Amino acid sequence: MQPDESQYLQRKCRTGDIDVHPTEKALVVYYEVEASILGEAGNARHEEKKECQKIIRLRSLNASTDVSALARKVVEECKIIHPSKLAEVEHLLLYLQNRKKPSSKFDILPMTEKIRGSTLILHLARNPDNLEELLHNETVLGALARVLREDWKHSVELATTIIYVFFCFSSFSQFHGLITHYKIGVLCMNIIEHELKKYDLWQDELEKKSKDPENQSLRKEYEKTLKKYQSLLVKQEQLLRVAFYLLLNLSEDTRTELKMRNKNIVHLLVKSLERDNEELLVLVVSFLKKLSIFLENKNDMAEMDTVEKLACLVPCEQEDLMNVTLRLLLNLSFDTGLRTKMVHVGLLPKLTALLGNDTYKHVAMRILYHISVDDKSKSMFAYTDCIPQLIQMLFEHGEERMDNELISFCINLAANKTNAQIICEGNGLKMLMKRALKLKDPLLMKMIRNISQHDGPLKQLFIDYVGDLAAQIKQEGDEEFVIECLGTMANLTIPDLDWELLLKEYNLVPYLKDHLKPGKANLYLFVFQDGFYNATLHYCHWAFFIDIKAPAYLIDLMHDKNLEIRQVCDNTLDIIAEYDEEWGKKIQSEKFRWHNSQWLEMVESRQMEDAEPYLYGNDPDALEQPDLFYSTDGMMAPEPGLSPDFYSQFHSQNGDFNACDGADGRPATAYGFRPDEPFFHGYGSTR
């Protein structure tokens, strides 16, 4: 179409991507030319677009070339390259300077062709039926691995596509050897680390440009940079997600997981908790949950302030993310220090609010139960609405037995005086006593017993229930329930309470005589305190205690580790010594023997400390003798047949960790082997 006198021709040139030539030392600049024929009013009557490319050959480029100077020259002479592309041009020139001779046809393709080719392979790999065929095509897989290794920094899209191909293989355990062979796992960790550092640089750049919002030019530049950043962030998070997912699949093998741990996988995962992408967060938290059942990983998470980052995710609207976050917190709550940190970062009221949500209340209650184990944290529950919610749950059960988690939680809270006062507000104690006496529930009575131990007005509330408690002490009663009733009565050290009259009125002496015999006394003797056991001794008569050889039993327990047991034994033995001269001498002799042995141990320990410098004589090389060190000779060989699912005994599934017998509620170690040794799982109970 020829323009007439009333028409004008307008041309625009838009620069696109810049890439390296696949075979030559040259740059390829992709650009688009748009030609428009305008009318007199300036409106476009006809438009045409054409994609073009310009090859800039760099014959002088060699190992000694100044790449920075050459990049400036290229940008100055090639008008279609915008000056803002200088850094990109310099990066490409540096790549050309160090590029090796291509080893396959796939390697020499332009970047766009590589992306297109890997995308076609991905379409095949996403169908599991094609994986076996692709497995036998070593040329394709080798080329993919090589391109990923060389070009992942140049194109996020290319890296994402190739990793996705190998991710398809990682979904099946039989193909993990293939991924290990091409070292894709290590490469993924390097890519993740690089992308996380790049993310920090983006954040710093945005922060610098947002410091002066009043400056219009800086504000426009900030908005422009923000749009670019958001676009890059979407692509980067797609890459991180597929890379982490591949690593999660590979961590199915404990040996591989150990290698990841040694390369700081926990650090990379915790760093990724700062993102807002929910799909990525679900994956990251799931991975951390799987790792958290092992002591080493848990310690790494503690050093990385993981709890603080997880606290920001509670609550959240995404159900999967919320559920997996709570389960990770549950695993971490087996650690005393991390439980304390959960309180400090404000998780207590957040978790309490979840007790009203049927979806999350069971996991939330388990975490809160663990927190309530620590005496320092018990008092914090008084400043939330947790206790009223728990009491309501107790009464909603009707005549059904309560969940162990619920009643155990209440038992812990009742051990704190402030919490006990809240529990007893209104008709709280009356309702608890009514339910406990009706259902004969020993755990509920244990909660009441904890309430009764607090001095002050709380003890006075029990005066109305002393008779009800005494009436439960029967031969045919549930033994555990009776013991809790006895313990509750023993806690009621109230001056106005006439224990002697109580023992007479409810005829308790025959029952106590029968149960204060060898073999049974250990269950009943130590629930007595102050006036209760004095009255019991009086009415059972001291001769009865001597006949059943109770003094000898008490002497054995006089040095028990439990302070309360020692106090009861000392007080009871003092009373028996007053009634019986012969036993008084034996008791006095035993106490003297104990103090004398303690003194001798102290003297011997001091002598050993003084002799320590001379243990090895005057030979300065004594410690250099090899036979002084441990050797592995004679040690039990590892059992290769043991299953890595050893922690199934702890009810662990997909990283869930509900109960165990190890120290702090977890195995003592996760990886008791080196990657080059046959691994052997072992654990020991310390409680």
**Using one digit for the tens of pLDDT, what is the confidence trace for 260-291?**
999 999 999 999 999 999 999 999 999 999 99
Same domain? For 181 and 125 the reply is: yes
Q: Tell me which range, 5-9, 106-110, 446-450, 579-583, is most confidently predicted by mean pLDDT.
A: 446-450
Same domain? For 136 and 37 the reply is: no
Cα separation of 47 and 41, whole Å? 16
The verdict on residue 35 lying in a domain is: yes
Same domain? For 66 and 117 the reply is: no
Same domain? For 91 and 140 the reply is: no
Helix, strand, coil in percent for the chain, rounding step 5: 65, 5, 30
**Residue 212: φ, ψ to 5°:** -120, 80
The verdict on residue 162 lying in a domain is: yes
Domain boundary among 174, 200, 225: 225
The verdict on residue 555 lying in a domain is: no
The verdict on residue 153 lying in a domain is: yes
Whole-angstrom CA distances from 474 to 226, 241, 469, 497, 523 are 77, 65, 11, 21, 15
Q: Is the pLDDT of residue 332 over 90?
A: yes
In this prediction, residue 550 carries a pLDDT of 65
Q: Is the pLDDT of residue 414 over 80?
A: yes
Q: Is the pLDDT of residue 604 over 80?
A: no
List, for residues 575-594, the tens digit of each pLDDT value: 777 777 888 888 888 888 87
The verdict on residue 338 lying in a domain is: no
* Residue 25: band (very low, low, confident or very high) from pLDDT cuts 50, 70, 90: confident
Same domain? For 62 and 168 the reply is: no
**Residue 54: φ, ψ to 5°:** -125, 130
Q: Which residue range forms the structural domain that includes residue 163?
A: 111-225
Cα separation of 145 and 184, whole Å? 7
Q: Is the pLDDT of residue 539 over 70?
A: no
The verdict on residue 404 lying in a domain is: yes
Q: For residue 442, what are the contacts with CB-CB under 8 A and spacing of at least 6?
A: 478, 480, 481, 483, 484
How many domains in the chain? 3
The verdict on residue 149 lying in a domain is: yes
The candidate with the shortest Cα–Cα distance to 145, out of 174, 100, 185, is: 185
Whole-angstrom CA distances from 320 to 171, 313, 316, 359, 654 are 21, 12, 10, 11, 14
